[in-house]
Chains A and B, each alone.
Chain A
Amino acid sequence: MAEATHGLGGLKYDPAKRTRAPEWNVFGALVLIVLIFEILNRMQGGSFLFNMRDNVDAIFNQQRLDIMILQVAIVGIIALGVTQVIIIGGIDLSSGSVVGVTAMVVMSFAQTALVNGNPNPKAIFGDWAMDLPVIVPIVVGLACGLLAGLINGLLVAYTKIPPFIATLGMMVSARGAARWWSNGQPVSFPTENFGSLANGDLLGSMTFGVLHWPGQNPAVVFVLLAILFHVIMTYTLYGKRSYAIGSNEAAARMSGINVDHHKVLVYTIAGILAAVAAVLLTSKNLTAQAGMGVMYELDAIAMAVIGGISLAGGRGSILGTVLGAMIFSVIISGFTSIKLDAYYQEMVKGAIIVGAVVLDQWRQRKRTRG
């Protein structure tokens, strides 16, 4: 018999060549991109990361870091759900539109009766729906996202139409519902409590040495949800099933996994996460418009893809998506910091998404070749 150190067929096993977690590659890319923007900023006499003003006592450019965290948080929450959908081999194009319709519904239940002593000019319902406790719009909003996600899941699991088509239908219909809700009019003037949901810092800000955590609620919610779903995807049956289905659906079915049930569950969770984003977004903006969340689904997918999630399913992680979201945020802030025109920003953003996928494919091929 061969030695224990030998693999099958006499293959030697070299522990040093064990597959490195792909998240490290994403992290490397993040560091690289930050470095590039730092250099570009230095060439213009500024700095991307560091504080250059003499009258402020700080090492980092705290204002920019705060904005970077905040601007990524809400779409990042959507990306957490989209990541799970992609891992099971699906896709969710509807999240942006679900944000739109949920925003309208949420705000309709969050309105205040009197604005500066006058009746609310944007009132959707009668007096009964005014000044409701803040929990009401939250619950109604989450239910709205749950319903959209559930329909997505049922369509994908039981009609066997491709997820792309099912969620494309939801994308169009949900946007239509958002416009229908108030005949295209914005819904505004929420209660004070609702307004403080996204604009407050419930847990407070924290400072760790030179690092400062602003503690705005959307960022807190994003981080907590990211940790929650990282744990779920890594340590529970839910995660194991998700990866198994995305990896080989037939094998998962053969192994006794109820693939259809699981798909419904994953799409439903993605819908709920889109609704969480919608609640925070309406609270942050103090208004809801039918056009809210347009293109969010693509930003969320882009974050996942940049974070190393394979669109073929089965590969990637929540951690990867969080890193992808950070890269996304750095790119947007970076472009602004070097005063790149908004049109160029979009074009380069698209190129970076494609580039990330090409790089991933190339890496995969290299790995299978050995």
Chain B
Amino acid sequence: MSKIILETRGLTKHYGGVHALEDANFILHEGEHVAVVGDNGAGKSTFVRQVTAVEQRSSGEVIFDGQPVNFSGPLEARQAGIETVFQTLALADDLDVPSNLFLGRELFKFKLGPFSWLDRKTMRDRTMEALKTTAVKIPNVDNPIRNMSGGQRQCVSIARTAAFASKLVIMDEPTAALGVQETAQVENIIRGLKERGIPMILISHNLRQVFDLVDRIVVFRRGRIVASLRKDETDGNDIVSYITGVKGASDAAFA
């Protein structure tokens, strides 16, 4: 088996008395694409929020790239190489596409503290390149993204993630609000990541999409991981059984 890029041991999160996530043991290998599925409130998003340090876990360990990590916030996680597309868009509506792609990692002609001179041309060129490699089509990258459709904005958000992806990409319901064509585009971006060998965790409700895109499916139910199944050793009915609790952890083959 190839190298493990992300592992969680006994990851647990309590909100007051609510056990949103309980003893999650999760492994992601290099180059692997894993889907996280489960009913609403099953703990999928909670799991992601602990890994990306949007919230601080109650207990358990996160081992990323061979090192136990304790990120103080999402920024540190990103600097370590975890790029995340959140359910809520983290975009600045009044900025154009290149500015959003390079937000917080601008390129400069010369540096002078906060008054550093932006290298707008290079950022624009690289943006066009990134949009091309991710096959995202944006009519006019120089317009503020405020004027774009939800799908276009989501694509900007995903293109940003894909363009800067280094070690791990996490996508939380990336196509939840998108139309058919836009969804197809996002799926193409994900396939591109697979080709580039970048590991990904995909949270999705869409089983068709999950079976299309990933290698392995991890099922969450009531805050616990109840199954981890290879795509070719399971089917939709099987997954649904685990999601709804017809099958339990004792039935599962942990792949």
The interface of chain A, by Cβ under 8 A from chain B, is 1-2, 4, 6-11, 13, 15, 18-19, 232, 235-238, 240-241, 243-244, 246-248, 250-257, 262, 265, 314-315, 367-368
A8 touches B181 (CB 8 A): yes
Q: Chain B contacts of A248 at CB under 8 A?
A: 90-93
Q: Chain B contacts of A250 at CB under 8 A?
A: 90
Cα distance, A337 to B100, chains bound together (Å): 48
A18 touches B92 (CB 8 A): no
Question: Assuming the A-B contacts A8-B155, A247-B92, A254-B90, are A237 and B106 also in contact, with contact meaning beta carbons closer than 8 angstroms in the complex?
Answer: yes
Q: Chain A contacts of B146 at CB under 8 A?
A: 368
Instruction: Flag whether B208 is at the interface (Cβ < 8 A).
Output: no
Instruction: Flag whether B115 is at the interface (Cβ < 8 A).
Output: yes
Can you name 9 extra interface pairs (CB under 8 A) apart from A9-B151, A255-B105? A8-B136, A8-B149, A9-B182, A13-B140, A232-B115, A237-B106, A247-B92, A256-B78, A368-B147
A315 touches B139 (CB 8 A): no
B95 touches A247 (CB 8 A): yes
Instruction: Flag whether B16 is at the interface (Cβ < 8 A).
Output: no
The residue from A7, A240, A257, A262 contacting B118, defined by CB atoms under 8 A apart = A240
The interface of chain B, by Cβ under 8 A from chain A, is 74-75, 78-79, 89-95, 99, 103-106, 108, 112, 114-118, 120, 135-140, 143-144, 146-147, 149, 151-152, 155, 179, 181-182, 185
A251 touches B118 (CB 8 A): no
Q: Chain A contacts of B78 at CB under 8 A?
A: 256
A236 touches B182 (CB 8 A): no
A124 to chain B, nearest CB (A): 37
Question: Assuming the A-B contacts A19-B143, A252-B103, are A10 and B181 also in contact, with contact meaning beta carbons closer than 8 angstroms in the complex?
Answer: yes
Main secondary structure of the interface of A (DSSP, over half): helix
Residue pairs across A and B with CB atoms within 8 Å: the count is 112
B228 to chain A, nearest CB (A): 30
A240 touches B152 (CB 8 A): no
Cα distance, A253 to B86, chains bound together (Å): 14
B117 touches A247 (CB 8 A): no
Cα distance, A245 to B7, chains bound together (Å): 34
Cα distance, A247 to B185, chains bound together (Å): 27
Q: Chain A contacts of B79 at CB under 8 A?
A: 256
The residue from A7, A9, A240, A246 contacting B106, defined by CB atoms under 8 A apart = A240
Q: Chain B contacts of A256 at CB under 8 A?
A: 75, 78-79, 104-105
A9 touches B114 (CB 8 A): no
B95 touches A8 (CB 8 A): no
A-B contact pairs, 11 of them (CB 8 A): A7-B152, A8-B149, A9-B179, A19-B143, A236-B116, A240-B118, A243-B94, A247-B93, A253-B75, A254-B90, A256-B105
A45 to chain B, nearest CB (A): 48
B82 to chain A, nearest CB (A): 13
The residue from A8, A236, A244 contacting B92, defined by CB atoms under 8 A apart = A244
| Chain A CB within 10 Å, residue with most, of B114, B117, B151 | B114
Cα distance, A2 to B139, chains bound together (Å): 12
Q: Chain B contacts of A13 at CB under 8 A?
A: 139-140
The 4 closest A-B pairs by CB, nearest first: A255-B104, A13-B139, A314-B94, A256-B104
B75 touches A254 (CB 8 A): yes
Question: Assuming the A-B contacts A250-B90, A254-B90, A257-B103, are A8 and B151 also in contact, with contact meaning beta carbons closer than 8 angstroms in the complex?
Answer: yes
